[in-house]
Every structure is written in structure tokens, then in C-alpha cells.
Structure 1
């Protein structure tokens, strides 16, 4: 791992009187893949919006704490300056421009990025190497792509800005298992190329395989954190997020059912 990367310290967020995040702290070191786990309503998407400075578009506001990239605070700058600083987000639900072509969707991802024509051409080559189907479908409307192809386009669009830090919001959502694994393989490749990744994901098993460190967010607060392998082995995480039941408890329940069979309905 490299330098300091992304640092979120004591971040609190509200939507009017509703507190959505409460003093959340996490770090994404340079070159790392870090995941945030949690159920619906835990505050995962709000966290990414706070980092990208798009909360105001959704009626939210940061009420405390700081966000820094490589030691420089970015919590007070507009969204376009966050992109210029090197952070891009892939939103939940893909949100591609369905009436625009694949090529135009990708071009839109470079808006606000630093660099000129040479850098944009290099970014496009990288995207096409990662997702050859996007080169093949360049002049096709994005709305005609499959769900998996739209997810590829959403990731490719974010990469067009040449980010050093990529924020992924539920990239496997709504995808068939095979396509989700293809997206996971791409995340590994993007990481191997040197891009840091903050991954928000409900598919805990997938996320814990990809990440080196994990945080569990519940009702706006970090309740667990540590190396991803340790959380994957945690009984609490296995029970709540991986669908694994404690083996001893399951055996006890099975013995109880065998020794006390359920009563059958009386027949008159």
C-alpha cells in the first residue's frame, strides 16, 4: 500500500432533522480495496455522497467531521473539484444516459477531469481494454445494453476521469451471479492497475473476497471494522451478512426437533 489516500474522520450527515451518519471514520490507503457493508438504510450511499460532495442534490448536508485525500481536505469544495482531485463515483443502479450512445456516455465521464486530449485517449483505451464490448457497441444507445453491460459502462464512464480513487456503490446489484463475478474480476484488475477503491456492497461474501479491510455500517454508525479476512471469519458477520448459522446451535435445534416432533393436526 502507498500513501495516506482517503481519510474520513468523525463524519456526521443529516437530511433535515434526520441524522443519517454519526461520527463515521474510515481510511482507504493508496492502492487498497476497502469495503463498507450494511443493510438497506445503513447510510452507505449517504457516505459516498458526502465524500463526492453531492449531498446537497439529495437534500442532505454534512454537519460535522472532515474528508481528506492525500492529506488535503476536500469536504469544502464543489463536486467538480472532487473529480479533478482524483475521485470518481459509480452510482447505485448504474444511472447511465440511456438515450445517449455508449461513446457519448464515456465522453461525459471525462468532464471536469484534469488533462487534455492525450489523457482522454489513454483513458478510453484503458476502458476498452477492460470492457471490449463497449468498443463494439460504441454507437449503440446505452439503454439497449443489458444490465451487466450498463454496469460496465457506468464503471468505464467513471474511469474516463482517470481517478486515483474509485467509489463503487452496489456494483453487483441486480446482476446475475456470473455477471457479478465478471464485475468482481474487473474490480481486481482496476485495483491491480493502481486505482484505490471504496466498495459499498450488500453482497458481503463478494465484497470480503475483494477487500483488504472492511467496515460494517449500521444505522449510520460504524459498528465493526478490521481486516476483511477477520470479519469474514467473525461469527457475527457470518450470521448477519453471510447467511451462516452457528453450527452448534443448528445441531442443537435439529436434536430438539428430533426429540420433540411437531404435533400433527387432529383428525375428527
Structure 2
């Protein structure tokens, strides 16, 4: 891995008077998978919107800080220029064009991307190799695909721009475990092919297996960061995001409850 593909410095974001991010700093090294963990409302999606320059569509704005990709600032660029610079986002909830065919959804992903017809054909081959089902259902309306297939289409659409950095917003959301595992395998393959990945994910166990580095967002601020394996071993992360409870503490709590049973009904 080389230098920083993405460099976010002291980034603050607001939706009107509401502060959504406060002085967030993170890096995605070139060729790496980095994950951002956090509960609902922590600011994870806001962070991705700030990077992809789509905040204004949601009523938000950057109030301080900077975002640079490959050493060049993204401030002042329109979303299509961010895509042309090599950054593509897969939004939460997939958001495919339901009435359009699978093929037309993929073509839409190449709009504004750099490269000639040959580059677009190469990108389409790559998508079909990653997701053969999209080739099989090229003429089917996207709205008729299963949830997992729609997620594949959303990722494939983003890859049509041949990004150097892929922003993934909750790719496993609403998927069965087997399908979530397939998406995770695809993220590994995309990264192995040379694309850096910034992954926002509530499934912390999955995200920490994929990533080399992780950040934890709480109420718009980075509260923990470090190598993913170290965060996975952290008692705080295990308790709050992996559902692992310290056995000694649990036994103590259980014993205390037995000694001092709680009231089941309040009597006036």
C-alpha cells in the first residue's frame, strides 16, 4: 500500500443548525479497505456524502475541514466531477433505477466517467465477471431483482466508472447472512483488483474482517481508531458492536440481580 488515497481532515458538517460531524479526521491508504463503524445517527452516511459531494441533495453542508483524494482537494467539485476523479459511491438502500433494465442501470453508472468506449466495455466485463447474474438478467427490470441482486447491481453500477476508491454505505443492510457473505467476498475481490474501499457498515464483525483499519463514529465524532484486528480485540468494541459480553462481569451482574431482585410492579 502506498500513500493516502483519501485524506479527510478536521471535517465538520451541518444540516442547518444541527451538527452532524465534528472535526472528523481519517485516511484511506491506497489499496486498503478501511471501515467506519457506528450506530444509527452516528454520522456515517453523512461522512460518505461529504466525500462524494452529494450533501446538498440532503440539505447538508461542509462547515469546516477538507477532503482530498490522490493529493487533490475535492472541495468545489460537483458529484459528477468527483466520479470523474475516481471516487464512486454505493448509497445505502441500493437505490437502483427500478423501471430501467439491469443493462441500462449499468450504463448509467458510466455516465461522466473518464475513458472511451473500450474502457466502458472493459468495465462491463469486469462487472459481469464479478456478478454473472447481472449478465443473465441484462434485459430484466431492476425492480424485479431480489434484494441481494439489487445490491450487486448497485455495486456494479458504481464500478462502471472504474473508480480508484469505492464508497460503500451499508452493503449488507437487509440481506440474508449468506448473501451478505457473498457481498463481502466481492468486496475482497474488488480490493484485490486494486480498488481502495471505504466501508460504512453496522455489521461490525463483517466489516472488521474485511478492513485493515477501522474508525468508530459516535454522535459525529471519531472516538476510536486503529488497526481493525486491534479494534476487534478491544473490550469496548466487542461489547458495543460485536455483542460480546465479559463473562466475569456478566456473572457478577447476574449474582447481584439474584441478591437484589428488581420490582416487577410498582405499588402506590
Q: Which TM-score band applies after superposition, normalised by the shorter structure?
A: over 0.9
Greater CA drift, 253-262 or 36-45: 253-262
- The CA deviation at 1:140 is 0.2
Q: Secondary structure at the match of 2:224?
A: strand
Secondary structure of the residue that 1:208 maps to in structure 2? helix
**Measured at CA, do residues 264 and 198 of structure 1 come closer, stay the same or move farther in structure 2, by a change above 3 Å?**
closer
C-alpha deviations, 1:100-128, integer Å up to 9, x for none?
00000000000010001000000000000
CA RMSD, 1 decimal: 1.5
- What's the offset of the Cα at 1:78? 1.0
TM-score normalised by structure 2 residue count: 0.96
CA distance in 2, matches of 1:226, 1:243: 20
The Cα shift of 1:31 comes to: 0.3
CA distance in 2, matches of 1:222, 1:258: 38
Partner of 2:117: 117
Deviation at 1:251, TM superposition (A): 2.0
Name the CA distance, whole Å, in 1 between partners of 2:26 and 2:229.
Answer: 17
Higher mean C-alpha displacement, 66-75 vs 158-167? 66-75
Change in Cα spacing, 1:246 to 1:112, as seen in structure 2 (3 Å) is same
| 3-state DSSP of counterpart to 2:139 | coil
CA distance in structure 2 between the partners assigned to 1:241 and 1:5 by the alignment: 27
1:189-225 C-alpha deviation (Å, 9 max, x unpaired): 0010010000000000100000000000011100000
**Cross-structure match for 1:188:** 188
CA distance in 2, matches of 1:95, 1:263: 48
TM-score (norm 1): 0.96
SS at match of 1:5: strand
The runs of 5 or more residues in structure 2 that have no matched partner are none
User: CA 1:17/1:193 → structure 2, altered by over 3 Å: closer, same or farther?
Assistant: same
SS in 2 for 1:6: strand
Structure 1's 208 and 116: CA in aligned 2 closer, same or farther, altered over 3 A?
A: same
Question: d(CA) in 2 for partners of 1:84 and 1:140?
Answer: 28
Moved over 3 A (4+): 254-265
Q: How does 1:194-233 map to 2 (within 5 A)?
A: 194-233=194-233
SS state of the match for residue 4, structure 2? coil
- Provide the residue aligned with 2:31 in structure 1: 31
The whole-number CA distance in structure 1 between the counterparts of 2:238 and 2:148 is 28
- Once residues 53 and 257 of structure 1 are traced to their aligned partners in structure 2, the CA distance between those partners, rounded to angstroms, is 51
